[in-house]
Chain A
Amino acid sequence: EPEVTQTPSHQVTQMGQEVILRCVPISNHLYFYWYRQILGQKVEFLVSFYNNEISEKSEIFDDQFSVERPDGSNFTLKIRSTKLEDSAMYFCASSVSRTVYNEQFFGPGTRLTVL
């Protein structure tokens, strides 16, 4: 069964450093998302992406964040200068289309720890 994959599973970084979180969405999916989950809290939407453009972003997704689809398979989230409060589990998701009834498939997540 096709699945969304994410690498690395755990990333430890120093405050102020740049990190890139990588995702490989399901191959025929066209819509991509990043969500995050701070430990013990709810899953929060960060950004949605389609046709090489951001469709929607939350207030969390400030200038420190960027997304890119550098090739036909990867979808990346970059945090330019990490802060302690960026420590969270980051989930990538993808869906076939943007119709509201289309399931978003989630990857296993990358745990980001900022020291």
Chain B
Amino acid sequence: QQQVKQSPQSLIVQKGGISIINCAYENTAFDYFPWYQQFPGKGPALLIAIRPDVSEKKEGRFTISFNKSAKQFSLHIMDSQPGDSATYFCAATEDMIKAAGNKLTFGGGTRVLVKP
């Protein structure tokens, strides 16, 4: 019930194309859904995040779509650039009032390669 399932495992997209990564969860106590971007040799870095009271959040070329009833959320990278080539992790965490310590539960990761 604590799992977050992420797909696809890898993705190749042409420069200018759209990258779409999907995540699904079971735990209805999850209250915050961040996406992390990780470059080789670096730690994950927060890219964009959404709360379940909104269905979409956009920051620049990155958009999260959230479907609370389906318990699914996705990341769309518009106009993908070679510099976007990285591993992307979706994550989820519970409300601190209900949970002990704000741990992040990560999806399995998607390796995105943007070809020039």
Give A contacts to B, CB under 8 Å.
4, 31, 33, 35, 41-45, 48, 50, 55-56, 58, 91, 93, 95, 98-109
The CA of A42 and the CA of B41, in the complex, are separated in Å by 15
Are B103 and A107 in contact (CB-based, < 8 A)?
no
Are B44 and A56 in contact (CB-based, < 8 A)?
no
Shortest distance from the beta carbon of B94 to any chain A beta carbon, whole Å: 7
Are A107 and B43 in contact (CB-based, < 8 A)?
yes
Number of A-B residue pairs, CB cutoff 8 Å, is 72
- A109 and B94 contact, Cβ closer than 8 Å, known pairs A45-B103, A101-B32: no
Q: Is B85 an interface residue (CB 8 A)?
A: no
Q: Name 5 extra pairs, CB < 8 A, besides A43-B104, A58-B103, A106-B36.
A: A44-B106, A48-B101, A48-B102, A56-B99, A98-B101
Give the size category of B's interface with A. Answer: 20 to 34
Contacts of A35 in B (CB 8 A): 104
Are B108 and A108 in contact (CB-based, < 8 A)?
no
Q: Is B74 an interface residue (CB 8 A)?
A: no
Shortest distance from the beta carbon of B62 to any chain A beta carbon, whole Å: 15
Can you report 24 A-B residue pairs in the complex whose CB atoms are below 8 A from each other?
A31-B102, A35-B104, A42-B109, A43-B104, A45-B103, A45-B104, A48-B103, A55-B101, A55-B102, A56-B99, A56-B100, A98-B102, A99-B102, A100-B31, A100-B96, A100-B102, A101-B32, A101-B49, A104-B102, A106-B36, A106-B43, A106-B44, A106-B45, A109-B42
